[in-house]
Structure 1
Amino acid sequence: MDLAPLLRAYGDSARVGDLLAAGVTERQLRTAVEERVLLRPRGGIVALPDAREDVLAARIAGGRLTCVSAAVHHGLWLLRPEPRLHLASAKGIGGAVVDHRLLTVPPLRRLPVAGLADVVLHALRCLPEDDALVITEAALKSGRVEKEFLALHLEGRRNGNARRRLERTDGRPDSAQEVVVREMLPHAGLDFAHRVRIAGIGEVDFLIDAWLILEFDGAAFHMDRKSFRRDLRRNNAGVVRSYATLRFTYEDVFGNPTGMMRDIREALHRRPRGIPGTAAGTGHQPRSPFQPRCLS
């Protein structure tokens, strides 16, 4: 039996007991360790030489990755990496580890990773607000967890802050930058609508002052011919209907938020003649400037 593909399915490392249950023999394991195909970082655990450090650390600690440490394993957006390991149900952990203790839903089958609901619950209780909102919105957007289910597990006084965060989510953003911008605009004193459907144009990311459209391209956005034509049609349709569009990238939101907000304010001050607007963006100063931390 080729052990490498099997170990990959377990996240590059596994408990010896799990491999024996999968049909691997003790002789095969001994040979693989002797030939350095597998390493034995601790008794009862074997790993590939290039094993993922987070998964291996979770196995050694006898816990499950959760919160920000589990986000990537569930395909969730991540605002920024966390140097500390976030674990649940670990035994005798120490050092740079955050202990989230108990789990409420079954973990992943082969990986030492908490279930999606627990990952979100732990994030809502543990992380800075922007990080928690990004992870929660990504989970809700995936359709694999429901807001009502999360709310049921956030009862009690100790979960008040987490409940307030959850109440602000709706699963509508398409990217981490949308979540961050949704938090930035109120702090800048701008009235806006998020995820608005405009006749003849379609759904837009944000609409400010009833005429200025903001669109955000993702970190992995690549303009192919089809999407290029689609965006041209949308922009042209907006101009015909007296809307203006500003487009921003991942780098604008997380690398130059000050410049992005400056462009938005300058555009609002240049409202085309004849277009009615609200007071938003006409000189109101930010109450509390929001500086999102850089994604890496």
Structure 2
Amino acid sequence: MDALEYLRSLGGVARTAALLRAGASKREVAALAALGVKPARGIIALPDCNPDYLFALVHNGLLTCGSAARAHGLWIRDVPLRRHLAVAHSRVTVFTAHRTLRFPAHGTLPIASLEDTVLHALGCLPLSEAVSMAECAIRGGQVDRGMLEDLLRGPRSARARRALSLATATAESQPEVEARLLFVARGWRVQVQARIPGVGRVDLLIEGLVIVEIDGHAFHADRAAFVEDRRRQNEALRQGYPTLRYPPEVVWRDPDRLLRDVEELLRIWGPRRFGG
């Protein structure tokens, strides 16, 4: 085993005991210590190590909640500035602590399980981030909704249950989740990934009338996609479905504009479509 490469595979930081268990000799561990620093007793860190992993090991915890979202490939817009750790101790001053772990942690990295990460997020993060993480995990088949529901039956889990109830497992991106939550909060009926004959599937259909599409960075990657998109949009309009398109930045930075635009189209097109 190449001890240096193994340490790099761990993000450049590890406990000496973990290196020894993996097969590194005491001499190799000493050589690694000479290459880096020892930020705490029993921990070796290379100068370019992962700072989140280092923080977790120094504080004898596991990254979880929003701090572990990207490690698990879960949707999150803003990783919390204050790190979230699962810890057994109560000496908390510089991070947000989570003290319940129900599943085995990652085998080699200081990261809580995906299941615990989602459970912690549901009861902790702002609604849009909590729903986005749960939506991604459930949609990807990484976690079972029924299992989450069973574990959130307690009286202290009301907030988490509400967030979970808003995860539809149908969205294709985090901005789409956030836009849907904006519309639901306004009291509008929202259909996700609705199918319209002759048009196909659309991201969001508001009050059975207004189509909202959230375009990703790969939008119109080629000419054929551009032509097809214009056909779909024209056909939707011909059938009486006006379409609004937005990049993620509008959802994140100017949600009031998004709501105003939809509200105006509902006001203008509602009487035309439904009478009145």
TM-score above 0.5, yes or no: yes
Percent of residue pairs bearing the same amino acid type:
37
Tell me, in whole angstroms, the C-alpha distance in 1 between the residues paired with 2:271 and 2:4: 67
Tell me, in whole angstroms, the C-alpha distance in 2 between the residues paired with 1:46 and 1:230: 55
Q: What corresponds to 2:105 in structure 1?
A: 107
Tell me, in whole angstroms, the C-alpha distance in 1 between the residues paired with 2:71 and 2:89: 22
Question: For 1:247, what is the secondary structure of its paired residue?
Answer: strand
CA contact (8 A) 1:58 1:64 kept: yes
Report deviation, 1:268: 2.7
Report deviation, 1:111: 0.9
Report deviation, 1:174: 1.4
Q: What corresponds to 1:33 in structure 2?
A: 33
Map 1:249-260 onto structure 2 (within 5 A).
Answer: 249-260=247-258
Tell me, in whole angstroms, the C-alpha distance in 2 between the residues paired with 1:166 and 1:86: 20
Q: What corresponds to 1:134 in structure 2?
A: 132
Report deviation, 1:189: 4.2
Higher percent of residues as helix? 2
Question: For 2:273, what is the secondary structure of its paired residue?
Answer: coil
Report deviation, 1:272: 8.5
Question: For 1:68, what is the secondary structure of its paired residue?
Answer: helix
Tell me, in whole angstroms, the C-alpha distance in 2 between the residues paired with 1:160 and 1:271: 38
- Deviation larger for 175-184 or 84-93: 84-93
What TM-score does the superposition give when structure 1 sets the normalisation length? 0.84
Equivalent residue letter for 1:14: A
Question: For 1:206, what is the secondary structure of its paired residue?
Answer: strand
CA contact (8 A) 1:4 1:48 kept: no
Change (3 A) 1:272 1:88: closer
Larger relative contact order, structure 1 or 2 (CA cutoff 8 Å, min sep 6): 1
Equivalent residue letter for 2:178: V
Equivalent residue letter for 1:221: A
Equivalent residue letter for 1:179: V
Question: For 1:39, what is the secondary structure of its paired residue?
Answer: coil
Tell me, in whole angstroms, the C-alpha distance in 2 between the residues paired with 1:40 and 1:227: 54
What TM-score does the superposition give when structure 2 sets the normalisation length? 0.90
CA contact (8 A) 1:105 1:115 kept: yes
Question: For 1:196, what is the secondary structure of its paired residue?
Answer: strand
Post-superposition Cα deviations, 1:73-122, rounded to whole Å, max 9, x if no partner, equal 11111132212221113445432212211311111111111111111111
CA contact (8 A) 2:12 2:45 kept: yes
Q: Gaps (5+ residues) in structure 1?
A: 280-296
Tell me, in whole angstroms, the C-alpha distance in 2 between the residues paired with 1:231 and 1:4: 50
Q: What corresponds to 1:15 in structure 2?
A: 15
Tell me, in whole angstroms, the C-alpha distance in 1 between the residues paired with 2:114 and 2:265: 41
Tell me, in whole angstroms, the C-alpha distance in 2 between the residues paired with 1:66 and 1:76: 12
Tell me, in whole angstroms, the C-alpha distance in 2 between the residues paired with 1:187 and 1:148: 25
Q: What corresponds to 2:212 in structure 1?
A: 214
Q: 1:42 aligns with which of 29, 40, 43?
A: 40
Change (3 A) 1:270 1:6: same
Equivalent residue letter for 2:188: L
Q: What corresponds to 2:221 in structure 1?
A: 224
Give structure 1 regions of 4+ aligned residues with deviation exceeding 4 angstroms: none
Tell me, in whole angstroms, the C-alpha distance in 1 between the residues paired with 2:5 and 2:190: 50
Tell me, in whole angstroms, the C-alpha distance in 1 between the residues paired with 2:190 and 2:70: 31
Q: Gaps (5+ residues) in structure 2?
A: none
Tell me, in whole angstroms, the C-alpha distance in 1 between the residues paired with 2:264 and 2:272: 18
Report deviation, 1:143: 1.0
Q: What corresponds to 1:290 in structure 2?
A: none
Q: What corresponds to 1:200 in structure 2?
A: 198
CA contact (8 A) 2:64 2:112 kept: yes
Change (3 A) 1:221 1:96: farther
Tell me, in whole angstroms, the C-alpha distance in 1 between the residues paired with 2:16 and 2:189: 58
Tell me, in whole angstroms, the C-alpha distance in 2 between the residues paired with 1:274 and 1:43: 72
Q: What corresponds to 1:175 in structure 2?
A: 173
Equivalent residue letter for 2:264: E
Map 1:27-176 onto structure 2 (within 5 A).
Answer: 27-34=27-34, 36=35, 38-91=36-89, 93-176=91-174
Change (3 A) 1:189 1:155: closer
Say whether residues 1:238 and 2:251 are aligned partners: no
Tell me, in whole angstroms, the C-alpha distance in 2 between the residues paired with 1:154 and 1:272: 40
- Deviation larger for 222-231 or 21-30: 222-231
Question: For 2:38, what is the secondary structure of its paired residue?
Answer: strand
Tell me, in whole angstroms, the C-alpha distance in 1 between the residues paired with 2:47 and 2:3: 12
Q: What corresponds to 2:5 in structure 1?
A: 5
Question: For 1:23, what is the secondary structure of its paired residue?
Answer: coil
